Chains A and B, each alone.
Chain A
Amino acid sequence: MTTLDVPTAQTPLAPVTEVLAIAGRRLRRLRRNPGRLVGITLNPLITMIALGYLFSNAIEIPGSTNYIEFIFAGVVMQVGLASIGPTAIAVALDVQGGLVDRFRSLPISRSAVLIGHTIADLAISLIGLAVVTAFGLLFGWRSHTGFLPTLAGFALVAVFIFTVLWVGVLLGMASRNLETIESVGGLVAVVFSFMSTGFLSVEKLPGWIQPIAQWNPVSSVIAACRELWGNPVADSGGFPAENPSTVILVSLGTLFVVTSYLSVRRYRNA
């Protein structure tokens, strides 16, 4: 008879090991199936090329002639928004395939699996962000502030991406139907990115969309990034435009707390 040794008890750093193991799994998968990276990179790139290159002379931004600098912040938001669908599908497939059951039957932290997923997906999105930024530079986007504010802008983008990834996790935990996930993910990506101040100034948008664009948290993140990068800012007016940090803090904070809480709760009872 072999010794039936019981896996060692919990140590304070145990969840870190678990998160890293799960994140490592996701990154290994990416190496064999880079579709995710291609998707989240191409989506913003196409927007940037379509709008910034083809339409740049047709669209006027008040107080600026540099359309690519205007839309760049909106384009990088799409790296995050385009990640929602693929993250949701990956999570749903893990639930369907029984992997979530296996993980749940292990003596590991209840949130390690989902956190590991989002951290790995964030890393993948950051690679996408780097590629999109490189193309942005090629098309003429520049930051006009110093190193630190520029970096702060990208850090804010990273926070935004991490937050919306949890929307994807929740979507994947909540729905088992891949087609539903795909269409909901696509819809969220289009609505939140185009009903914002990312590509047009507010007064150029149809009247009924204006308040939506003003209050869309994505607009606030875009406004903050433009500020941090010294890019043209189109004043959208109203409370959100005057207090972008408050809107960002409250909206992203709430979104993160609600989606991560609900996701982990669903994971426990999956």
Chain B
Amino acid sequence: MDLAIEVSGLRKTYDKTHALRGVDLSVRTGSVLGVLGPNGAGKTTAVRVMATLLEPDGGTAKVAGFDVVKQPREVRRRIGLAGQNAAVDELLTGRENLVLLGKLLHLGRDGARGRAKELLERFDLVAAGDRPVGTYSGGMRRRLDLASCLVGHPQVLFLDEPTTGLDPASRQALWNTVRGLVDDGVTVLLTTQYLEEADYLADQIVVIAAGRVIADGTPDELKRKVGQEWLEVAVALPDRTPDALSVLGPLAVDTPTVDAEKGLVKLQLRDGMDGIAAAAVALRDAGVDVADFSLRRPTLDDVFFNLVGHPTDQ
């Protein structure tokens, strides 16, 4: 298997905090790895090590075939990095930002200008290209930031929480762009706090907590580990909760969980769509008025709670 990123036993300690306590990762060339984890889990530290910004205290990391400690320059020639802040110069125009990077990458004056033009077109920034970045919206800034990473045609792209703070439309646009890059053969490692984002973009996911990988797999595998979707019924009059429970009980895999005060019943249904229909009919036949009837999926919170062993809501 052709690996674009190979990380094993990565350790990093700041003062007395263990940011990374032996992280292993591997990413196939041309695929997307989503790194999930709560704040302070070590996601950014891991990215900084892989992007040659930080030397690890232990373990090895190879990116695009080169060791990040022994051959950082070779790694740098093949990567693009978009950190948590959009690392663009506010006083320069979008075009000037891109031309600057082109010059730094020795594309020459004309080469840098040509590349800037291409990228502005690709990222839908032509109209804003000659305005100072300070006037850009959050979404435009992110697009420019991503464009900035691509000036040198990287083989491996590190995106550290690329959509944090973006509105849904900008987020979707950025996702499409990342998809497009992957279609072009770029390998992407992205960190995120949104399961939805990892679900949409990632071929593989690792979950990091407290500096360790606590789970990995495809999005589907991970979701299965955490649990199936469940039905959540809110009874209009909480004192009818026992009635709802008695008719829903037979349809559930396990005993449903109940919050009598709020009139909430949660259960995992035995058989998909039929189960939903049966539950709805049973409630109507029992004459129980329902305020909310919905199918819920595990959230990232559930993933974390489930994986680190704390009791979940469910």
Contact = CB atoms under 8 A, between A and B. Distances in A.
Contact of B105 (A99, A106, A270): A106
A104 B104 CA distance: 11
B73 A107 contact: yes
Contact of A6 (B78, B89, B90, B92): B78
B275 interface: no
Nearest to B51: A105
Contact of A25 (B73, B77, B81, B89): B89
A105 B76 contact: yes
Nearest to A30: B91
Contacts of B88: 99
Nearest to B103: A21
Interface string B96-115: 10001101111100000000
Contacts of A106: 76, 101, 104-105, 152
Contacts of A14: 106
B115 to A, nearest CB: 11
A58 to B, nearest CB: 44
Nearest to B186: A4
B270 interface: no
Interface string A210-246: 0000000000000000000000000000000000000
B155 interface: yes
A103 B79 CA distance: 12
A95 B174 CA distance: 25
Interface in A122-137: none
Interface string B251-264: 00000000000000
A237 B186 CA distance: 69
Interface residues of B, number: 39
Looking at B52, B91, B92, the one whose CB has the most chain A CB atoms below 10 A away is B91
B257 to A, nearest CB: 44
Nearest to A112: B104
A29 interface: yes
Contacts of B105: 7, 106-108
B116 to A, nearest CB: 13
B313 to A, nearest CB: 36
A114 B51 CA distance: 20
A108 B185 contact: no
Nearest to B107: A7
Contacts of A107: 73, 76-77, 105, 152
A105 B104 contact: no
B198 to A, nearest CB: 23
Given A18-B104, A28-B92, A101 B53 contact: yes
Given A29-B91, A98-B84, A98-B87, A21 B104 contact: yes
B153 interface: yes
Given A4-B153, A103-B104, A107-B73, A98 B53 contact: no
B86 to A, nearest CB: 7
B2 interface: no
Interface in A15-69: 17-18, 20-22, 24-25, 28-29, 32-33
Contact of A102 (B81, B92, B153): B81
Interface string A1-12: 111111110110
Nearest to A270: B53
A206 interface: no
A97 B152 CA distance: 21
A6 B77 contact: yes
A75 B197 CA distance: 59
B79 A2 contact: no
B285 interface: no
B85 interface: yes
B98 to A, nearest CB: 12
Interface string A151-190: 0000000000000000000000000000000000000000
Contacts of A102: 81, 83, 87, 101, 148
Contacts of B53: 101, 104-105, 270
A258 B236 CA distance: 74
Contacts of A21: 100, 103-104
Interface string B133-176: 00000000000000010001111000000000000000000000
Contacts of A269: 55
Contacts of B77: 6-7, 107
A99 B89 contact: yes
B184 interface: yes
A39 B128 CA distance: 31
B132 interface: yes
A241 B300 CA distance: 71
The 3 A-B residue pairs with the shortest CB-CB distance in the complex, in nearest-first order: A98-B87, A21-B103, A98-B85
10 contacts: A18-B104, A21-B104, A24-B100, A28-B92, A97-B90, A98-B85, A98-B86, A99-B87, A104-B53, A106-B152
Given A6-B78, A99-B88, A101-B53, 20 more contacts: A2-B184, A4-B154, A4-B186, A7-B106, A7-B153, A10-B73, A14-B106, A17-B103, A18-B104, A22-B100, A24-B103, A98-B84, A101-B83, A101-B87, A104-B53, A105-B79, A105-B81, A106-B152, A107-B76, A107-B105
